[in-house]
């Protein structure tokens, strides 16, 4: 066990899986010698060579489609898009091809591919390089959606994603790459679809994903000063969603706030709130509150961008509004 | 081609404007005063300048993530551009767009674009609008060698040709898509060869020779205005800086960079203008000094301008 960044944890997961299974290979733009847009594939080209760490032309459609095709033909591709925003170019290959192949073909195809994509705002990258699009992927049957917040989770979940027999959309947050935490050196897996309580509490449940887990933890610390003991639950995956961990927590705390960086309207919080309303309404002492981004594209100018991104203040406010 | 003195001087001024503007950006980015990404056009000034010098304000262009040169060559305002890149409310897009998303519809600038290959289909639409309205305007679509591999670009080439649209595809082949050299991303040597697949003229020009670019684009624009359809012009050039500011650029060798810097488009053009007595050394110096002053004023304007107010966040999501 040692202290590693989220980025190092991902890099290690890739390395360990490539060592373990020669069918695992990486493809994407500038993933080779360059080491990937944010550095996640650094060093892998030197270790595994060009045939297993493939630089592609700038053709997202082909990157995603080739991963799906190669997966259906027996390999285990890990594709990288530099920014989640570029999925727009490749949408058909992901939504209509990769996600549906198995079902449409009556179970004849198996598509064990992983698609890694960094998302999120915070680096002044403006509207076409800063979105959080998890709700798009959650809405497509056939895809699994993983969205880890900690280095430990990132490594275990990426290994699981690579071993999974389905297309897995693996959403990283660019602001998390530098975050560090304890990560074992050896290989380990985390079950896809199992969440984790990141902080125990008794008064309110805050379900948070990705970057917002840290905002929620900060909010919980501040709420403590006001005598409110918040529990922070990170589902870690949005499809499948760990309903039990959320319901169990709500049954204990009787209040729910959901926080994510995706646009609040029709965001993941809408599904979680509806699920809790359907399955645990009687346990709720107050309406569910959601914290998400405003309904507008991500602005460029730093003060606007900072204002746009949901933060601990917004979560504290939402929790206090429940009283 | 006999060009008027006015056009020649305008081209010389434009190239210098792009150069000095970008050198300032380089400086301020390094000083941490510019947020986000900055992709510099240094070394490629002859392409935008040669191509846009053929166009009127009514003609349109689509640009790329490396758009400052295209925008300035099309007449973009130094101050409004600088303020936008500094994230100020007085900028072209009220600080909401930044370097990769500047537009000026009055000047026919349909926007820089953060999506590689995003411009092709938009250019098809603009050219379609021209044809629809039976106007005589043309659209120029700027795109990189990397972007040429994107499906959207190939689709745009095909549609423009099938519909005989007044569109000129200007490919800026600087040899790389971030770290990926052309030889690793495509099997052809000349992107212009791909024009054959769409039955349109495909021409290769020296992208560091502003007059060669001007001539090729003039021919293509003539053809487009006559209703004869699109052309593809490949301009061979080189970017001096890393892909973005901050890129250590270890994937290229210094010799290659030096070789291309020796082909700097500005001194090359300047020497021609001096030789033909279009300009004197004194006039050259005066032009450069005057542009330097304008660029400094643009920086001052940007820095004095306020950041946008958070109350403006939700403006312009819908019309
Ligand atoms: C759809 C999409 N894919 C990838 C990127 C990331 N990206 C930005 S610029 C670039 C390279 C573009 O190369 P080229 O078209 O040759 O233009 P150049 O940068 O050389 O001017 C890449 C891969 C992007 N912005 N959009």
Q: What is the pLDDT of residue B293?
A: 98
Residues 6+ apart with CB under 8 A from B180: A29, A30, A34, A55, A57, A58, B146
Q: What is the pLDDT of residue A21?
A: 98
Beta strands A230-234 and A204-208, pairing class: parallel
Q: What is the pLDDT of residue B60?
A: 98
Joined tokens for residue A278: 């359907």
Entry pTM: 0.97
Joined tokens for residue B305: 């301008």
Q: What is the pLDDT of residue A130?
A: 98
Q: What is the pLDDT of residue B312?
A: 97
Q: Domain extents for chain A?
A: 2-183, 196-320
Task: Quote the percentage of chain A above a pLDDT of 70.
Answer: 100
- Assess whether pLDDT exceeds 80 at residue A72: yes
Distance CA B239, CA B47 (A): 12
**Segment A159-216, tens digit of pLDDT:** 999 999 999 999 999 999 999 999 999 999 999 999 999 999 999 999 999 999 999 9
Which ligand 1 atom lies nearest to the CA of residue A89?
A: 1
How would you write chain A as a 3-class SS string?
CEEEEHHHHHHHHHHHHHHHCCCEEEEECCCCCCCCCCCCCCCHHHHHCCCCEEECCCCHHHHHHHHHHHHHCCCEEEEECCCHHHHHHHHHHHHHHHCCHHHHCCCCCCCCCEEEEEECCCCCCCCCCCCCCHHHHHCCCCCEEECCCCHHHHHHHHHHHHHCCCCEEEEEECCCCCCEEEECCCCCCCCCCCCEEEECCCCEEEEECCCHHHHHHHHHHHHHHCCCCEEEEECCEEECECHHHHHHHHHHHCCEEEEEEEECCCCHHHHHHHHHHHHHHHHCCCCCEEEEECCCCCCCCHHHHHHHCCCHHHHHHHHHCCC
**Segment A218-267, tens digit of pLDDT:** 999 999 999 999 999 999 999 999 999 999 999 999 999 999 999 999 99
- Assess whether pLDDT exceeds 90 at residue B1: no
Residue in A with minimal Cα distance to B38: A125
Select the residue from A87, A127, A301, A303 to test the B interface by mutation, using most B Cβ atoms within 10 A. A301
Q: At what angle are helices B5-30 and B78-85 packed, to 10 degrees?
A: 20
Is the dihedral angle over the CA atoms A280, A285, A288, A291 positive or is it negative? negative
Three-state DSSP class for B205? strand
Distance CA B26, CA A299 (A): 23
Average pLDDT of chain B? 98
pLDDT tier, B159 (very low <50, low <70, confident <90, very high otherwise): very high
* Cβ of B241 below 6 Å from ligand 1: no
Beta bridge partners of B36: none
Q: What is the pLDDT of residue A82?
A: 98
- Assess whether pLDDT exceeds 80 at residue A53: yes
* Cβ of B70 below 6 Å from ligand 1: no
* Cβ of B174 below 6 Å from ligand 1: yes
> Would you say A110 and A165 are in contact if contact means Cβ atoms under 8 Å apart?
yes
What is the predicted ipTM? Answer: 0.95
Average pLDDT of chain A? 98
A260 is catalytic: no
How many residues comprise chain B?
319
Distance CA B190, CA B205 (A): 10
- Assess whether pLDDT exceeds 90 at residue A145: yes
**Segment B71-114, tens digit of pLDDT:** 999 999 999 999 999 999 999 999 999 999 999 999 999 999 99
Residue in A with minimal Cα distance to B87: A301
**Segment B225-253, tens digit of pLDDT:** 999 999 999 999 999 999 999 999 999 99
Give the right CATH number for A2-183 from 3.40.50.300, 3.40.50.2300, 3.40.250.10, 3.40.50.970. Answer: 3.40.50.970
Mutation test residue for ligand 1: of B40, B115, B143, B146, the one with most atoms within 8 Å of CB: B146
Which chain A positions have a beta carbon within 8 Å of B147's beta carbon?
58
CB spacing of A124 vs B115 below 8 angstroms: no
**Segment B114-131, tens digit of pLDDT:** 999 999 999 999 999 999
Q: State the distance from the centre of ligand 1 to the C-alpha of B268, rounded, in angstroms.
A: 28
Residue in B with minimal Cα distance to A50: B184
pLDDT tier, A323 (very low <50, low <70, confident <90, very high otherwise): confident
Joined tokens for residue A113: 């591919």
Q: Using the structure block, give the residue that is written with the tokens 């791909």.
A: B194
More confident: A184 or A323: A184
CB spacing of A57 vs B149 below 8 angstroms: yes
DSSP state for residue B149 in the 8-state scheme: G
Q: Nearest Cα to B36, choosing from B253, B236, B246? A: B246
Q: What is the pLDDT of residue B266?
A: 98
**Segment B61-77, tens digit of pLDDT:** 999 999 999 999 999 99
> Would you say A156 and A211 are in contact if contact means Cβ atoms under 8 Å apart?
no
> Would you say B113 and B62 are in contact if contact means Cβ atoms under 8 Å apart?
yes
Give the right CATH number for A196-320 from 3.90.1150.10, 3.40.980.10, 3.40.50.1400, 3.40.50.920. Answer: 3.40.50.920
A39 touches chain B (CB under 8 A): no
CB spacing of A57 vs B177 below 8 angstroms: yes
**Arithmetic mean of pLDDT, A50-77:** 98
Interface size, chain A vs chain B, as Cβ–Cβ contacts under 8 Å: 124
Residues 6+ apart with CB under 8 A from A217: A198, A199, A232
Q: What is the pLDDT of residue B2?
A: 83
């Amino acid at each position: 066990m040692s202290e590693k960044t989220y980025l190092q944890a991902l890099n290690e997961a890739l390395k360990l899986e490539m060592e373990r299974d020669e069918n695992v290979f990486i493809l994407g733009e500038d993933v080779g010698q360059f080491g990937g847009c944010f550095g996640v594939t650094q060093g892998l080209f030197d270790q595994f060579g060009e045939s297993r760490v493939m630089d592609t032309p700038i053709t997202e459609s082909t990157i995603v489609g080739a991963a799906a095709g190669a997966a259906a033909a027996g390999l285990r591709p890990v594709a990288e898009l530099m920014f989640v925003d570029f999925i727009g170019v490749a949408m058909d290959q992901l939504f209509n091809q990769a996600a549906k192949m198995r079902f449409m073909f009556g179970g004849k195809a198996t598509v064990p591919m992983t698609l890694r994509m960094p998302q999120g705002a915070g680096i002044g990258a403006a509207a076409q390089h800063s979105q959080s699009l998890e709700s798009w992927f959650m809405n497509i049957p056939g895809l699994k959606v993983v969205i880890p917040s900690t280095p430990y989770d990132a490594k275990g979940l990426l290994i699981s994603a690579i071993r999974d027999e389905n297309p897995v959309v693996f959403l990283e947050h660019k602001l998390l790459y530098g975050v560090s935490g304890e990560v074992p050196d050896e290989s380990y897996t985390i079950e896809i679809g199992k969440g984790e309580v990141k902080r125990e509490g008794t008064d309110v449940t805050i379900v948070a994903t990705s970057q917002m887990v840290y905002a929620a933890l900060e909010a919980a610390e501040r709420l403590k000063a006001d005598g409110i003991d918040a529990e922070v639950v990170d589902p870690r995956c949005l499809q499948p969603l760990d309903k039990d961990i959320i319901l169990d927590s709500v049954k204990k705390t009787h209040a729910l706030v959901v926080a994510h960086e995706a646009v609040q309207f029709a965001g993941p919080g809408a599904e979680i709130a509806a699920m809790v309303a359907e399955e645990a309404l009687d346990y709720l002492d107050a309406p569910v509150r959601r914290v998400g981004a405003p309904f507008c594209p991500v602005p460029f100018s730093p003060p606007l961008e900072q204002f746009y991104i949901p933060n601990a203040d917004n979560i504290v406010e939402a929790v206090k509004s429940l009283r | 081609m006999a060009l008027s003195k006015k056009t020649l001087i305008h081209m010389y001024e434009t190239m210098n404007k792009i150069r000095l503007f970008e050198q300032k950006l380089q400086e301020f980015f390094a000083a941490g005063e510019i947020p986000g990404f900055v992709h510099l056009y240094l070394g490629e000034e002859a392409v935008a300048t040669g191509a846009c010098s053929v166009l009127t304000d009514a003609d349109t262009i689509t640009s790329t993530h490396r758009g400052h040169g295209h925008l300035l060559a099309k007449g973009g305002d130094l101050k409004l551009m600088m303020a936008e890149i500094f994230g100020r409310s007085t900028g072209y897009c009220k600080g909401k767009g930044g370097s990769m998303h500047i537009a000026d519809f009055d000047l026919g600038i349909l926007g820089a674009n953060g999506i590689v290959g995003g411009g092709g289909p938009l250019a098809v639409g603009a050219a379609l609008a021209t044809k629809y309205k039976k106007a005589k305007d043309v659209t120029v679509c700027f795109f990189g060698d990397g972007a040429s591999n994107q499906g959207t670009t190939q689709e745009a080439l095909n549609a423009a040709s099938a519909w005989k649209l007044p569109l000129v595809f200007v490919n800026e082949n600087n040899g790389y898509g971030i770290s990926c050299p052309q030889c690793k991303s495509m099997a052809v040597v000349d992107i212009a060869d791909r024009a054959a697949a769409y039955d349109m003229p495909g021409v290769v020009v020296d992208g560091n020779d502003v007059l060669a670019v001007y001539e090729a684009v003039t021919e293509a624009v003539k053809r487009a205005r006559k209703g004869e359809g699109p052309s593809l012009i490949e301009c061979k050039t080189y970017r001096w800086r890393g892909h973005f500011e901050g890129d250590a650029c270890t994937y290229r060798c210094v010799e290659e960079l030096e070789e291309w810097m020796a082909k700097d488009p500005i001194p090359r053009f300047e020497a021609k203008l001096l030789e033909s007595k279009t300009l004197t050394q004194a006039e050259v110096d005066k032009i450069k000094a005057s542009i330097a002053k304008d660029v400094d004023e643009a920086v001052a304007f940007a820095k004095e301008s306020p950041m946008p107010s958070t109350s403006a966040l939700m403006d312009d999501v819908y019309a």
